[in-house]
Amino acid sequence: MGTKMSIEITHVRYGSTRKTEDEIVRYKWHSNETSESGENDKSSLVAWVEDDGKAYVGSGSGRSQVGVVKPSNAQAYLRTYADGQWNNNLLSLPTF
């Protein structure tokens, strides 16, 4: 996964029965630019986004950018950001 391409996150896997952004442990993704697909664990995808990788959920007017949330007392995780506020679009994705 190169830092120049952008990816659409298409599926998530939770590490527990709680369905919250911080409990997502793996992500499936696809790049429309390169037709590349893959999956990554939470820490590697967080690091990629922090290193200027561009990720999003959805398409068209429903597309939301993915950003990194860094709680002071827990591991960093991904969350979507649209219209100036954090939201939970990742939670509506199918699981794998």
CB–CB of 21/33 below 8 Å? no
Structure confidence at residue 10 as a pLDDT band (50, 70, 90): very high
- If one counts the domains in the chain, the total is 1
- Would you call 47 helix, strand, or coil by DSSP? helix
pLDDT at residue 2, as a whole number: 62
Type of residue numbered 63: R
Q: What is the pTM of this model?
A: 0.91
CB–CB of 78/29 below 8 Å? no
CB–CB of 12/26 below 8 Å? yes
Q: Domain for residue 34, yes or no?
A: yes
pLDDT tens for residues 38-94? 999 999 999 999 999 999 999 888 899 999 999 999 999 999 987 778 888 999 999
pLDDT at residue 3, as a whole number: 57
> Strand pairing partners for 87?
80
Using CA atoms, how far apart are residues 2 and 19, in angstroms rounded to an integer? 29
**Average pLDDT score over residue span 5-32:** 95
CB–CB of 5/36 below 8 Å? yes
Q: Domain for residue 26, yes or no?
A: yes
Above 90 in pLDDT, residue 12? yes
Q: Domain for residue 1, yes or no?
A: no
Task: Name the residue range of residue 22's domain.
Answer: 6-91
